[in-house]
Amino acid sequence: MRMHNPPHPGEVLRELCLEPLGLSVTDAAEALGVARKTLSAILNGRSGISPEMAIRLGMAFDTTPESWLNQQVQYDLWVAEQRSKEMHVKRLAAA
């Protein structure tokens, strides 16, 4: 069952990983081997977690890449479902 209004994974990353360790965006980006701008976009919900970033996060925080990707999929699906009433789709069925 999908979560109702799941948080963006960047919010989870900030609250559960960076803040408890007292890490700045700059320090975390350096540790992850990415640009500060890249990490900032994720933390501020302007960008999603890619498979490569999921692997980096898994390595850095001893989590699984799948957990990060699952959070992203749940968030993306919820956002898309919010727009589903605007979609014009015809139901197709086998004859």
- Ordered by start, the domain boundaries in the chain are 9-86
Q: Homologous superfamily of 9-86 in CATH?
A: lambda repressor-like DNA-binding domains (1.10.260.40)
Alpha-carbon distance of 69 to 53, in angstroms, equals 9
From the number of C-beta atoms within 10 Å of its C-beta (0-12, 13-18, 19+), residue 3 rates as exposed
pLDDT over 90 for what percent of the chain?
91
pTM of the model: 0.89
pLDDT of residue 1 exceeding 60: no
Confidence of residue 68 (pLDDT cuts 50, 70, 90): very high
pLDDT of residue 92 exceeding 60: yes
Angle at 21 between CA 20 and CA 25, to 5 degrees: 105
